[in-house]
């Protein structure tokens, strides 16, 4: 099975709106990206069936500035209504310019509807919403697609790098003193690693803007990978491709303590001195009227 990696990016013009209404803007980004790919997948001139998609939300760039985008991993084909599998041909899933235009139209339309319903109430400047959205419809939106991946194990590792990532890792921080933070970043214009120096206050400000609202799901599944139908739909895909269902996952054997190296020097071995059981949550008590 081949997989395709696509990235849908919100224009930076909308960064202020994201700060005012993060839950609504992120919801519309997921919704519009999936609606775009769903429409292309259902088009009988293309695949004529239902796609699957796993999408991961990132809100940062290399220097911790606000850069809201979705990483989408899509299996290379569609499940048709007759139960047959239609494979995608070529190194890229769909034409990127056509995807960009459709995504732009859907996202702008969704934002207009959200504004009309009062969901963007904090964007309070008179005429700002129409002015901004009219201007965005005249711009090119950034949709990026990478060449397909051909190995299942590679895909799992590849996706894991995106699902378990935060705005900055400790490995990138090279120096911290009373006033400044020094960290590395990749300059994509030159493809070189560089060091940025920020005041402690500015570093914290940039980092905090990437903390999502409580309960917001940053990894979501759609189409035949959606949680509500994944098992049934994947069985249909396997039958269409004459593939056996993979064996049930078993728990990995427990490692002995001596197998864990010291996280600081990587030479010594940890020793178990005690085991702490997982806490059991207390049952919720509800008051009952007499």
Residues 250-287 have pLDDT tens digits of 656 666 656 677 777 877 877 777 777 766 665 554 44
Specify the pLDDT at position 127: 86
Q: What's the whole-number mean pLDDT along residues 229-250?
A: 83
SS3 76: coil
Whole-prediction pTM: 0.82
Question: Could you give phi then psi for residue 81, rounded to 5 degrees?
Answer: -65, -30
DSSP for 196-209, written as a single string? EEEEHHHHHHHHHT
How far apart CA 168 and CA 183 sit, in angstroms, is 9
Specify the pLDDT at position 258: 61
Residues 152-204 have pLDDT tens digits of 656 677 777 777 778 999 999 999 999 999 999 999 889 899 999 999 999 99
Q: With bands split at pLDDT 50, 70 and 90, how would you rate the model's confidence at 290? A: very low
Question: Could you give phi then psi for residue 172, rounded to 5 degrees?
Answer: -85, -15
Inter-axis angle of helices 96-116 and 22-42, nearest 10: 140
Specify the pLDDT at position 280: 61
Tell me the pairing of strands 180-187 and 173-176: antiparallel
Q: With bands split at pLDDT 50, 70 and 90, how would you rate the model's confidence at 215? A: very high
Cα separation values, 198 from 59, 60, 62, 65, 240, Å: 19, 16, 13, 12, 55
Specify the pLDDT at position 269: 78
Q: For residues 34 and 222, is the Cβ–Cβ distance under 8 A?
A: yes
How far apart CA 9 and CA 24 sit, in angstroms, is 16
Specify the pLDDT at position 19: 95
pLDDT at 62 over 90: yes
Sign, CA dihedral 210-214-218-219, equals positive
Element (H, E) at 5: strand 3-9
Residues in CB range of 21: below 8 A, 6 or more apart: 119, 120, 122, 123
Count CB atoms within 10 A of the CB of residue 66. 17
Residues 10-26 have pLDDT tens digits of 999 999 999 999 999 99
Least confident among 7-16, 90-99, 225-234, 238-247: 238-247
How far apart CA 94 and CA 10 sit, in angstroms, is 19
Angle at 78 between CA 248 and CA 86, to 5 degrees: 105
pLDDT at 6 over 60: yes
pLDDT at 289 over 60: no
């Amino acid at each position: 099975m081949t997989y395709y990696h696509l990235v849908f990016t919100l224009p930076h013009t909308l960064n202020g709106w994201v700060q005012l209404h993060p839950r609504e803007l992120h919801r519309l980004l997921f919704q519009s990206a999936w609606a775009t790919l769903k429409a292309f997948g259902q088009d009988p001139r293309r695949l004529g069936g239902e796609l699957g998609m796993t999408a991961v939300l990132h809100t940062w760039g290399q220097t911790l500035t606000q850069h809201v985008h979705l990483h989408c991993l899509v299996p290379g084909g569609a499940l048709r209504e007759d139960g047959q599998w239609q494979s995608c041909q070529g190194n890229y899933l769909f034409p990127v310019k056509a995807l960009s235009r459709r995504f732009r139209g859907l996202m702008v339309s969704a934002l207009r509807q959200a504004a009309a319903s009062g969901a963007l109430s904090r964007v309070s400047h008179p005429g700002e919403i129409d002015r901004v959205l009219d201007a965005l419809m005249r711009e090119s939106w950034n949709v990026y697609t990478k060449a397909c991946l051909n190995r299942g194990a590679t895909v799992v590792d590849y996706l894991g790098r995106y699902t378990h990532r935060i705005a900055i890792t400790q490995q990138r921080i090279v120096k911290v003193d009373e006033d400044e933070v020094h960290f590395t970043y990749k300059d994509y214009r030159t493809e070189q690693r560089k060091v940025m120096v920020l005041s402690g206050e500015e570093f914290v400000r940039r980092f905090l803007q990437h903390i999502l609202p409580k309960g917001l799901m940053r990894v979501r599944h759609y189409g035949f990978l959606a949680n509500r139908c994944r098992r049934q739909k994947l069985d249909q895909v396997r039958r269409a491709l004459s593939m056996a269902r993979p064996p049930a996952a078993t728990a990995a054997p427990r490692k002995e303590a001596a197998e864990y190296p010291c996280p600081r020097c990587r030479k010594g071995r940890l020793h178990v001195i005690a085991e702490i059981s997982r806490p059991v949550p207390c049952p919720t008590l509800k008051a009952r009227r007499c």
